[in-house]
Amino acid sequence: MSDKLQALETALDAFSTVPSLEEMPRRTLADKGIDGPTAAHVIEEVHTPFNLAYLTFTTGSSAFQNIVGVVHSEISGRCAVARTLFEKLGSGPHAKMLVTYPPLANVFAADALRDCGVEWNFLRRSSRDALIVQACQEQPKIILGESSFLRASLEQATKMGLKDEMPKGAILLTAGTPLDQELLPVADGYGYSVHDLYGCQEFGWLTLDGVPLRDDITLAPSPRGDGYREFVVGGLPMGDSFVISKTGHVCNPEGKIITYRRERTYPEYEVVVLATTAHAANTVEKASRTILRIKGRVVKVARDIQTNAPATKLALVPGVPANEVEDFEPIVIEGPVATKLFDDIVQAQTDLQKSAKTDPAWIKGR
């Protein structure tokens, strides 16, 4: 090796501000708060951009499990939802929560759970036996999991003569699939309360027992019929329609959104941005592509979009040719409250554009 090359290598090792692989920051499963086993995944390291708070995946209930990105500007909203949720549960500070499926913690965001002082952990193995053992040993205040799995586990504990060793007065927080109503009498036999939590990886938790947990939720008319409403979060449609009932949710008569009677919306709505608080239409166009890629929602920008508007204005339109939908008037959603989630993602795009790429491999020299 020449002296010049040796000197360059020495200077590179001593003064370079560009990290080696060993020096790169790492976001582990423990950092994300989901360091528990599942039989449905393989652990894979990826390069995650700094503009995302973390990566997660959809549940796969309606398609493949697809990548979801959560931007930093969403985290404060998820923290606020978590505070509201645990206040409604009345679980008290530093409550212990046993999570049966680690990705459910991603719907909260680890920062949200830490903000609420919740102590959470996971099954050592994803099985009913593991749930019974840990519930008896650790005595959690809250058990979070899919309702049929919880029902089967309680029934098994009873058959095994372990009912008296299970936690006293636990809260069963059901999520991930529509509520199995057969859980209710089984839980009642244990003296447990049951709560139905609805949400998704893309947008976080949205309702508890049919009551919204966010201020930016809109119930729009649904193609499913008069008895249904399309669920819209921050201006972005979920693709889910629910029965709205005056008699209320089975877990809370005050909850009018019957989340265990979900139907997929057809035709699904697309979003057209009519007005934005952003200074440039190009910023909204980039944010719209981001929403498609990390949230799976189709957002288009009107050719005559109004920029620098006092509030965002979005229109929901069916994602099919106009001749297939008779006499449809676009559903207009106006901010700032009702479009908060959309605005958060636009803000994330704005923030990204203010910072240059830091990897020199992407910087083109002259």
Quick: pLDDT tens for 101-157.
999 999 999 999 999 999 999 999 989 999 999 999 999 999 999 999 999 999 999
pLDDT at 364: 56
Percent pLDDT > 90 in the chain is 77
Residue 163 banded pLDDT, cuts 50, 70, 90: very high
pLDDT at 327: 61
pLDDT at 366 over 50: no
Q: Which H or E run includes 134?
A: helix 128-138
pLDDT at 71: 95
> Which has more pLDDT, 23 or 274?
274
pLDDT, one tens digit per residue, over 232-242 is: 999 999 999 99
Q: How many residues does the chain have?
A: 366
pLDDT at 322 over 80: no
For the segment(s) 27-208, the CATH number from 3.40.1310.30, 3.60.110.10, 3.40.50.12780, 3.40.1280.10 is 3.40.50.12780
Q: For residue 3, which phi and psi values (nearest 5 degrees)?
A: -60, -40
Specify the domain boundaries for CATH 3.40.50.12780 within the chain. Answer: 27-208
Residue 250: other Cβ atoms inside 10 A: 18
Q: Residue 363 gets which letter from DSSP? A: P
pLDDT at 16 over 70: yes
Q: Which residue has the tokens 């923030």?
A: 351
Residue 65 banded pLDDT, cuts 50, 70, 90: confident
Helices (H) and strands (E) in the chain, counts: 10, 17
**What does the buried/exposed string (b/e) look like for 86-110 if buried means 16 or more CB atoms within 10 Å of the residue's CB?**
beebebeeebbbbbbbbbbbbbbbb
For the chain, the average pLDDT equals 92
pLDDT at 363: 63
- How many Å apart are CA 108 and CA 144, to the nearest integer? 12
Q: Give the range among 14-18, 74-78, 305-309, 349-353 with minimum mean pLDDT.
A: 14-18
pLDDT at 282: 95
pLDDT at 325: 53
Percent pLDDT > 70 in the chain is 94
pLDDT, one tens digit per residue, over 68-87 is: 999 999 999 999 999 999 99
Give strand pairing partners of 52. 71
pLDDT, one tens digit per residue, over 171-222 is: 999 999 999 999 999 999 999 999 999 999 999 999 999 999 999 999 999 9
